[in-house]
Every structure is written in structure tokens, then in C-alpha cells.
């Protein structure tokens, strides 16, 4: 999953008007991927029903929650240093309850309590439904409470799977970071076991939610005014479920059914696995106009030996072939990727092959990460982390510079063209626009390209035509136009 914009949607819901003095105040910080953002939304929704209200001010909070990520060391360090910082706060205000939720809670479990004894509640991503009751218990009993799922090797697949409970309770509109966009979980967990990756341990076995449940949830969201949904799964194109009548649903079937909900103007889905990019899916994307022509398909490396050590189960040739099939079947599709640099044994020659893949892949963008050994993964036991940090850093910079140049070139094709943009909010430089005020707004095209332009705050949540006038590697800059002729799929 794309781990990029957690901070952007940190659930600071200042729109809430319920400010009854005796409501408990909840402060929550979320790091990591979209799955975590959705989990936080659901936890907050549940707690709100239990009488909490959100606060932006950690100093005012009665309960402080961190929803955490374990994918790289850096994400964990951030949380441990935040926990270090609030140690004093807990000394001054011992009545404050502190909780660590999510992937790091599942991975580190009691170790969190050893490193941060002021933590009251530790809850893994498969046990989030228990958060409200554990907060109460921690307070009543004055002892730390923990709820985590079973390790992958603890028993039969069914027993382990059951310990990663589905957590998609009623969606509460007030809790969504935006009233017109929503995430919908279609899969949980992962069974691919790429050797570097902690996700299969901390998020458990792969499970596809039933199609009928997903369709009902999407319909409910659409009725609440949602215009864009993003389907979430670690490998969303491996989706497969069978209904009571024995009918199998693949992602393509699900998209077809979701496309029947007419008020959903955009349907996106992340993240894809290269091996599962089947022709039926590509044809569905081609034939369903409101499904975004945007595919995030991480390659991770452009070198077969590295891919083998990563246990990615495909070759560079297969990835290239997949790209060719995407471009042939879905003209104009935007493809983005993830790369890991400095994986054990990555030589200069192997790295050069990743550069070549970025060069010929013409990705819309790539997320590039330095390899971070994760305890409990195969790569951590099998291989030595032998690429020095400076080399990882240099490779990261080189790959990013190449990708940025390509992204900028790619963006230039849109200059002078009107694009259909769903306006998401004020841009970073004009946070805090007053109602009716004009300022810099940001939005995205159907293909996930970021567009910044000047406009009235009232446009937030609308589809507007914007002519692109300038392009950087990351962003298109433009101006709103009043014409019907837009390129809805760019
Ligand atoms: N080190 C560095 N990057 C990693 N990713 C997953 N595990 C690691 C790791 N141990 C990256 C992959 C994945 C993205 C979400 O995070 O590129 O696609
Ligand atoms: Fe991790 Fe690989 Fe599963 Fe993605 S497919 S979540 S990288 S194990």
C-alpha cells in the first residue's frame, strides 16, 4: 500500500460541533498507509459513539492514541519518540490514557510496555473492535491492557484468520476525512510473504470480504454523498470471493457491480500485484468509464536475482509484459510503482537494472524506499543487510531524480488541456481557507494526478475543469475554466 500521505489526513475533525464539556477528549495520530487511515476513521467513529470528541490539542486530551506502522524502522522510531515525548505529560496528568494501535502493536506487543511503561493499551489491527472496552478496563483496573492476534504459525489457518477479526463497522459520515471520498476495505491481510515484508505477520492471512457486504457498504457511502471510493487491499487484484449461490467474484466482477452505483463518479483501487493483473481486470477498467485508469503496481526491483531473493514470484520480463498489456488494453492508463533500493546483495549492476525499469516503465510516479530490515521476516534471517546506508541513500536519490524527470515529462503532455479535477481541499500553502474565500486549492484527476489552482473554497468536493499551465514532477498547476470539454480520464 502507498504509505505516503498519512499526515495529510490525520483525523483532525474540527468540523465536529458537539462540544459538550464533559465529553472525553480524544487525540489520535495516524502513520502509515491508507489501511491505517481507514482503521483510525473506524476507531474514532466507534469511540465517538461512546461519548468521546476529537481534539487537535494533545495537552487537552484524556485519551491519546497512536495508530502505527511497522513497514520500515523509521515509522516505528517516530512512534517510540512520540511516546518518549508524552512520558512527562503522563507524569503530570496520570489520568490520561495512552494507547498504541495497529501494526507496531501487533509486532512489538509487550515490548512496547517495556520501552514505554506509561502506555495503557496495546491493540493489534485484527483486534480494533476491542479498543473501547480496553480503554475502560485500563482505567478501571489501572493495569495495561493488550489485545493482539495470533502469530501466523500458531495454529490452523482458520484459527489464525479468526484472530484477525474483520473491522468495518457502520461508517459514520462525520468521521470521514472528507465527506465526498471514502476508502472501502475489500481485502485484509496478505499471503504473498515477500521476504522483506512484515505485513503478512502483522495483518494476518489474506481474506476477501464478501462482495455483497462491499457493495452494500459502497451503496451506503454513495447515499451519504460520497463521489469517489478507493477500494483497499494489500494485493487488491488478488480479490476473490464466492457468494451463497456459488458465484465467484473477481475484482473485475466487483468493479462491474460497483459501477452500477451511478452516483459514484470515481472508483479507484490500490494496491495491485503484478502476477494478478489479469486480462478480465484490464478489460473491466477499459469498459467501465467511472473506474479510474490508474494502476499502482509495485515492481520493487528491476533485477531478476533481487526479485528472486525478495520472493516476488515474477520476473522482470513478466512485469514488462504486464506493462505492455496494460498499455495495449487501457490506452492512457497511469501506472505507478514502488521500488526498494539497497536490498541485501543489490549490486551496482542490479541497481542499474531498476534504473532501466524506471526509464522504460514511464511510471506516473514511483515511491522509493531504502531497504529496512524487519525482525520476523525471512530476509532478516536469510540475508545480511550488506548495502551501506550511504549507498542506499545515493541509490534512492538517483532513482527518485530519474523518476521525477520522467514524471515531469509525463505531466507536460497535459499542458493546455482541460482536465477534470475532483477538488480535495486547500493546498498546503493556503490551509485554513474561510468559507467562500478564494485561495489555492488542490485536487486530483481520475488518474491520480495532483492539480493545484486558484479557486473558491466552495469548489471543494466538486468536479471542476482545470486547464494545466505548468508542470513539475509531482504537480500540475492550472486555472479553472468554464467549458464542458474536459478530458475526464487524464
Ligand atoms: N524496507 C523497505 N521498504 C519496504 N516496503 C515494504 N517492506 C519494506 C522494507 N522492509 C515497501 C515496499 C512496499 C511499500 C508499501 O513499502 O515497496 O510496496
Ligand atoms: Fe508485503 Fe509482498 Fe504482501 Fe505487498 S504483496 S503486503 S510487499 S508481502
Give tens-digit pLDDT for 282-295: 999 999 999 999 99
Return the ligand 1 atom nearest residue 300 CA. 17
Ranges of beta strands (E only) in 103-201 are 121-123, 145-147, 181-185, 187-188
Cell of 187: 481485502
From residue 276, alpha-carbon distances to 147, 317, 322 in Å are: 34, 15, 10
Tally Cβ neighbours within 10 Å of residue 94.
10
Choose the residue to mutate in 37, 71, 73 for probing ligand 1, maximizing ligand atoms within 8 Å of C-beta: 71
Is 245 in contact with 207 (CB distance < 8 Å)? no
| 292 CA → ligand 1 middle, Å | 25
Under-70 pLDDT residues of the chain: 1-21, 483-490
Quote the ligand 1 centre to 425 CA distance (angstroms). 29
- DSSP assignment of 395-437: HHHHHHHHHHHHHHHHHHTTTT-EEEEEEEEE-GGG-SPPTT-
Non-local (6+) Cβ contacts of 196 within 8 A are 310, 340, 343, 371, 373, 374, 377, 379
pLDDT at 225: 94
CB 106 within 8 A of CB 126: yes
DSSP reduced 3-state for 20: coil
3-class SS at 92? helix
Which residue of 235, 275, 308, 374 sits with most ligand 2 atoms within 8 Å of its CB, as the best mutation to test the pocket? 235
User: Quick check: CB of 197 below 6 Å from ligand 2?
Assistant: yes
SS3 338: strand
Contact 65, 101 (CB under 8 A): yes
| Distance (Å) from CA 249 to ligand 1 centroid | 29
Torsion of CA 110, 375, 67, 239, to 10 degrees: -120
Whether 71 is in the pocket of ligand 1, judged by its Cβ within 6 Å, is yes
pLDDT of residue 173: 79
Amino acid 4: pLDDT: 36
Residue 18 has what pLDDT? 45
Q: Is the CB of 30 under 6 A from ligand 1?
A: no
pLDDT tens sequence across 394-418:
999 999 999 999 999 999 999 999 9
Amino acid at each position: 500500500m502507498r504509505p505516503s500521505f498519512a499526515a495529510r489526513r490525520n483525523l483532525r475533525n474540527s468540523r465536529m460541533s458537539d462540544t459538550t464539556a464533559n465529553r472525553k477528549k480524544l487525540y489520535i495520530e495516524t502513520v502509515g498507509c491508507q489501511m491505517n487511515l481507514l482503521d483510525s476513521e473506524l476507531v474514532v467513529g466507534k469511540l465517538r459513539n461512546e461519548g468521546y470528541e476529537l481534539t487537535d490539542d494533545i495537552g487537552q486530551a484524556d485519551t491519546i492514541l497512536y495508530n502505527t506502522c511497522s513497514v520500515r524502522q523509521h515509522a516505528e522510531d517516530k512512534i517510540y519518540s512520540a511516546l518518549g515525548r508524552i512520558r512527562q505529560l503522563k507524569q503530570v496528568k496520570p489520568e490520561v490514557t495512552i494507547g498504541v494501535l495497529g501494526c507496531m502493536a501487533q509486532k512489538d506487543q509487550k515490548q512496547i510496555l517495556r520501552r514505554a511503561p506509561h502506555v495503557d493499551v496495546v491493540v493489534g489491527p485484527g483486534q480494533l473492535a476491542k479498543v473501547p472496552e480496553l480503554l475502560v478496563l485500563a482505567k478501571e483496573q489501572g493495569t495495561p491492557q493488550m489485545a493482539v492476534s495470533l502469530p501466523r504459525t500458531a495454529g490452523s489457518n482458520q484459527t489464525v484468520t479468526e484472530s484477525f477479526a474483520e473491522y468495518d463497522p457502520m461508517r459514520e459520515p462525520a468521521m470521514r476525512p472528507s465527506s465526498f471520498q471514502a476508502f472501502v476495505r475489500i481485502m485484509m491481510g496478505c499471503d504473498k510473504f515477500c521476504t522483506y515484508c512484515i505485513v503478512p505477520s502483522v495483518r494476518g492471512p489474506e481474506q476477501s470480504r464478501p462482495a455483497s457486504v462491499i457493495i452494500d457498504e459502497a451503496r451506503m457511502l454513495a447515499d451519504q454523498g460520497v463521489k469517489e471510493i478507493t477500494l483497499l487491499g494489500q494485493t487488491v487484484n488478488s480479490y476473490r470471493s464466492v457468494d451463497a449461490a456459488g458465484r465467484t467474484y473477481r475484482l473485475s466482477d466487483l468493479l462491474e457491480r460497483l459501477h452500477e452505483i451511478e452516483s459514484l463518479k470515481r472508483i479507484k483501487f490500490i494496491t495491485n500485484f503484478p502476477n494478478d493483473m489479469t486480462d478480465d481486470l484490464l478489460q473491466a477498467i477499459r469498459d467501465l468509464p467511472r473506474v479510474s485508469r490508474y494502476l499502482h503496481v509495485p515492481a520493487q526491483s528491476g533485477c531478476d536475482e533481487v526479485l528472486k531473493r525478495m520472493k516476488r514470484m515474477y520476473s522482470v520480463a513478466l512485469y514488462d509484459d504486464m506493462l505492455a498489456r496494460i498499455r495495449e488494453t487501457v490506452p492512457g492508463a497511469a501506472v505507478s510503482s514502488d521500488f526498494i533500493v539497497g536490498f541485501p546483495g543489490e549490486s551496482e549492476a542490479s541497481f542499474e537494472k531498476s534504473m532501466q525499469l524506471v526509464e522504460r516503465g514511464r511510471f506516473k510516479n514511483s515511491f522509493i524506499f531504502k531497504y529496512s530490515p524487519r525482525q520476523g521476516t525471512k530476509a532478516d534471517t536469510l540475508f545480511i543487510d550488506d548495502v551501506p546506508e550511504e549507498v542506499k541513500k545515493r541509490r534512492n536519490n538517483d532513482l527518485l531524480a530519474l523518476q521525477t524527470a520522467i514524471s515531469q515529462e509525463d505531466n507536460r503532455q497535459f499542458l493546455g488541456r482541460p482536465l477534470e479535477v475532483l477538488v480535495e481541499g486547500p493546498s498546503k500553502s493556503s490551509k485554513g481557507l474561510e468559507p467562500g474565500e478564494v485561495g489555492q486549492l488542490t485536487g486530483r484527476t481520475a488518474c491520480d494526478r495532483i492539480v493545484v489552482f486558484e479557486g473558491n473554497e466552495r469548489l471543494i468536493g466538486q468536479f471542476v475543469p482545470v486547464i494545466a499551465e505548468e508542470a513539475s514532477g509531482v504537480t500540475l498547476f492550472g486555472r479553472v475554466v468554464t467549458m464542458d470539454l474536459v478530458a475526464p480520464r487524464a
